[in-house]
Amino acid sequence: MAALGAGRAVAAGLLRAQSLGAWRGLRVPTATLQQNPQAKSQSAKPEGTFQVTMLPGDGVGPELMHAVKEVFKAASVPVVFDEHHLSEVQNMASEEKLDQVVDSMKESKVALIGKIHTPMEYKGELASYDMRLRRKLDLFANVVHVKSLPGYKTRHNNLDLVIIREQTEGEYSSLEHESAKGVIECLKIITRAKSQRIAKFAFDFATKKGRSKVTAVHKANIMKLGDGLFLQCCEEVAELYPKIKFETMIIDNCCMQLVQNPYQFDVLVMPNLYGNIIDNLAAGLVGGAGVVPGESYSAEYAVFEMGARHPFAQAVGRNIANPTAMLLSAANMLRHLNLEFHSNLISDAVKKVIKVGKVRTADMGGYATSLDFTQAVIAALEA
Amino acid sequence: RTSLDLFANVIHCQSLRGVETRHRGVDILLVRENTEGEYSSLEHEVGPAPPVTPVTPVTHWEPPPTPLSPPNPTGHDHQWEGDGLFLQCCREVAAEYPEITFQNMIVDNTTMQLVSRPQQFDVMVMPNLYGNIVSNVCAGLVGGPGLVPGANYGHDYAVFETATRNTGKSIANRNVANPTAALLAACMMLDHLRLHSHASMIRQAVLASLDDPRTHTPDIGGQGTTSGAVQSILAHL
């Protein structure tokens, strides 16, 4: 194990000195060096590549995945995608498909997914396929790192906060019924176990990334038992981490503070619905859904996706979607797979293109198409 | 609020001329359901099995598809396709007002749009919790809790207050609170009582006094005091 680690360090040193072209030649002989200790034996294909499950999803998902694949090809990333097309709106969803995806995940452990859209019609099933997938894989923690992109000015610059959202219970428990005519009841479930789990995840994350403060967001003044329990669990876990400052804030005040003074926040942890809203709000502060990557974790799996999840169906076929978020998310995925070199290569290229500012998609105020942006990123890889 | 059946909370968030904010030209009227939804205060603790008895009644809000769907053109049949109950009711009522454009938007996308382009919104209607969140976001956009007045209407009663309902206990007794929100709420009350001339007189004075940054209280970036702001308003009357 130590020898392998040392070998990897040597390879890393070698790689930094070499150009991209030389790295292409190096890939095959150094296959053993890529099989890091953390990779499961099944995921290492003969050439030393990793398998990653890919779910393009709906809307602009397939276009963004195409951008990712192009960039990966240009950067010679040793990743093979196992694609599955799960889609409720395109009638490509069923229990078997869901099981296929879960089986694929069991092998790859890592996935890159687009938004699996939930249609408006109530067809007898309250839980969407998206929610069912997350519950099956037990992806309890959604992490969105909201960071201002260098060179892209928004109304709030130099923002750096992390939003951690409990993703499997809360308001999304899909338990609703009509108790009397014209009266619907919807159950918001908060459990001690899941609240403690997400709180512990938040504090562990803060410790690992060297963050100093965790703020729990709630509405316990109104939902005294539900959010009260969540808050209680956060407080209990906070006592185990004396080095990290713990604060609480009510959701309405939190939203106002995010709009007026977002710099006061560091790490935020909250139940499902508030997380959904705050993810989107914070994404809006740094440039919108097109620039913020996100990830979801369970004890065994890691899923990489967009921070603010929207299918953006109006953009399908018009080549205007911004690939930034998906590319940055793919780079995060590579870091998770310990492919540090490739991860930095891609994220540096994306950030360089944005910083230079000549090629920007419409949502960032530019005129470029998605393909233009992807080409620009590929060009930046060479440099 | 429930015993007086103040079912509608109305707040008007407007960019004020004298107050500098990151967003300009914001003019949003927010209508929030005030008596049911997530605030129904029906909670209990159950065993590990999922409960079958109702817990927290919340008005049904199934996320609609892509945002900014085009408004229902007149002459179309109602679209019942299993919308959330709230959305369904909104559509029904909207059909009776063909001259007013009706759109719907998921609340997560709404908050994102509010921080990037709030000028696209005109009137917004929503259930209780989303109303709470969105009203705070809008108040933040125009300058904070010290500037926005709110009104609560029922069939028999009307109650006027500051829009974001903060107690402000951290700044109590320090003479730094911003009187604008409360004064504008009082103007809304005078309008309600049909004392329009008095209402406009006070409102003009409040807005004129905001043009002078020397009287701004700390929440809008100044160093003035509450009494200073009030004196300035009295001078403008």
Nearest CA in chain B to A126: B62
Give the global pTM.
0.81
As for the ipTM of the complex, it is: 0.76
B147, B151, B146, B135: which is closest to B193 by C-alpha? B151
Instruction: Answer whether B169 touches A (CB < 8 Å).
Output: no
Using one digit for the tens of pLDDT, what is the confidence trace for A186-218? 888 999 999 999 999 999 999 999 999 999 999
- Does B60 sit within 8 Å of A277, measured CB to CB? no
What is the torsion angle, in degrees rounded to the nearest 10, for the CA atoms of residue A65, residue A66, residue A70 and residue A72? Answer: 20
**A266 in Cβ contact with A162 (< 8 Å):** yes
Exposed, middle or buried, A86 (CB in 10 Å: 0-12/13-18/19+)? buried
The model's confidence at residue A46, banded by pLDDT at 50, 70 and 90, is: low
Alpha helices in chain A (DSSP H): 2-17, 20-26, 31-34, 61-74, 95-108, 129-136, 192-208, 226-238, 251-260, 272-286, 324-336, 340-356, 370-382
Give me the percent of chain A exceeding a pLDDT of 90.
67
Compare CB distances from B116 to A189, A252, A288 and report the shortest one's residue: A288
- Given CB atoms, is B40 within the 8 Å cutoff of chain A? no
Q: What pLDDT shows up at residue A172? A: 83
- Residue B18 confidence (pLDDT): 85
Enumerate the β-bridge partners of residue B27: B14
Domains assigned to chain B: 1-39+80-166 (3.40.718.10), 170-236 (no CATH)
B residues 95-124 lying closer than 8 A (beta carbon) to A:
107-109, 111-116
Please, is B173 exposed, middle or buried when counting C-beta atoms within 10 Å of its C-beta (0-12, 13-18, 19+)? Answer: exposed
Would the pLDDT of A61 be above 50? yes
More confident residue, A185 or A242: A242
Kindly state the average pLDDT of the residues A322-346: 95
What pairs with residue A180 in β-bridges?
A: A183
Is there a contact between A256 and B116 if contact means CB atoms under 8 Å apart? no
List Cβ<8 Å contacts ≥24 apart for A256-260: A256/B136, A256/B137, A256/B139, A256/B140, A256/B144, A256/B145, A256/B164, A257/B140, A258/A282, A258/A285, A258/B137, A258/B140, A259/A285, A259/B115, A259/B137, A259/B140, A259/B141, A260/B140, A260/B144
Q: Which residues of A touch B44 (CB under 8 A)?
A: 225
Question: How many beta-carbon pairs under 8 angstroms link A with B?
Answer: 140
**Residue B32 β-bridge partners:** B9, B126
Rounded mean pLDDT, A267-278: 94
